[in-house]
């Protein structure tokens, strides 16, 4: 019997080149200590998926604003970096099945009188430009949405710095990135909106074989429980979002 055909990307033993910012955003990921290795929930899953494909991972640190151009130019194989699956993004890239589902929260300076969206009226609310977080910020009646374009490697750090200095009054992001800030004396978590954002791995539209392989590998680690183990190891305070297989 003829052995099943394997796609060109799976036949290759070349590293899986994954784009992400090099930033401190645990438990998702931490800043690389050496420009090569990474630690966190997303790197854990990426290593599992790459191993299932018989490959290793090569992280390519890329500014947020350059994710889509780097994909389309085939400078990277995929973007694995907190990408919410949205229709606007689907116009430019394809996404794998979700590997995470998160809600969105609003962070303010400690003691700020903000507990509901109505309290943001007249305030400057930061979010990453073109993100699901910005879409939420734009729904806050009377608030001034302030986009951060992601031209630097650490757009999340840029927003936190702006909040600390008073350049903005609030930051919107997915709930997971604010977990490590619970004891930070500078910030308060104002409220959370149950948006249920699905995150996926972004792949160029002209690479359907790679998309299929990544989906198969993700399905395998979800069904055998390894994704759940990684979730509970890195984010035990957040409920696991996927049903049992």
Predicted confidence at residue 12, as pLDDT, reads 58
Report the pLDDT value the prediction gives residue 151, as an integer from 0 to 100: 72
The predicted pLDDT at position 145 comes to 98
What CATH number was assigned to the domain covering residues 12-99+200-234?
3.40.190.10
Asked if 28 and 99 touch (Cβ cutoff 8 Å), the reply is: no
Tell which CATH architecture fits domain 103-195. 3-Layer(aba) Sandwich (3.40)
Instruction: Name the token pair of 78.
Output: 């995929």
Cβ burial of 192 (10 Å; 0-12, 13-18, 19+) is middle
pLDDT (0 to 100) of residue 13: 79
pLDDT recorded at residue 5: 38
Domain(s) labelled CATH 3.40.190.10 in the chain stretch across 12-99+200-234, 103-195
What angle (nearest 5°) sits at the alpha carbon of residue 149, between those of residues 114 and 156?
Answer: 55
Counting as low any pLDDT under 50, the low residues of the chain are 1-11
b/e code 197-235 from CB counts within 10 Å (16+ = b): bbbbbbbbeebeebbebbbebbeebbeeebbbebbeebb
Q: Which residues contact 213 (CB under 8 A, 6 or more apart)?
A: 7, 9, 10, 53
Res 244: pLDDT? 79
**Helix or strand holding residue 115 (H, E):** none
Name the one residue in this structure whose structure tokens are 């998309």: 211
């Amino acid at each position: 019997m003829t052995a099943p055909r394997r796609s060109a990307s799976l036949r290759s033993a070349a590293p899986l080149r994954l784009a992400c910012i090099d930033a401190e955003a645990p438990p998702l990921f931490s800043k690389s200590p050496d420009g090569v290795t990474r630690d966190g929930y997303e790197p854990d899953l990426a290593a599992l998926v790459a191993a299932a494909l018989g490959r290793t991972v090569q992280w390519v640190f890329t500014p947020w604003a350059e994710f889509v151009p780097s994909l389309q130019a085939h400078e990277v194989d995929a973007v694995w970096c907190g990408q919410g699956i949205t229709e606007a993004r689907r116009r430019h890239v394809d996404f794998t099945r979700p590997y995470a589902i998160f809600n969105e929260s609003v962070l303010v300076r400690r003691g700020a009188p903000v507990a509901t969206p109505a309290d943001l009226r007249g305030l400057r609310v930061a979010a990453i430009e073109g993100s699901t977080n910005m879409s939420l910020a734009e729904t806050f009646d009377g608030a001034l949405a302030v986009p951060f374009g992601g031209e630097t490697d650490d757009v999340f750090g840029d927003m936190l710095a702006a909040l600390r200095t008073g350049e903005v009054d609030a930051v919107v992001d997915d709930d997971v990135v604010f977990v490590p800030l619970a004891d930070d004396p500078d910030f308060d978590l104002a409220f959370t909106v149950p948006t249920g954002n699905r995150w996926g791995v972004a792949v160029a539209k002209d690479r359907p074989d790679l998309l299929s392989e990544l989906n198969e590998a993700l399905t395998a680690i979800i069904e055998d429980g390894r994704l759940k183990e990684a979730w509970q190891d890195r984010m035990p305070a957040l409920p696991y979002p996927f049903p049992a297989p």
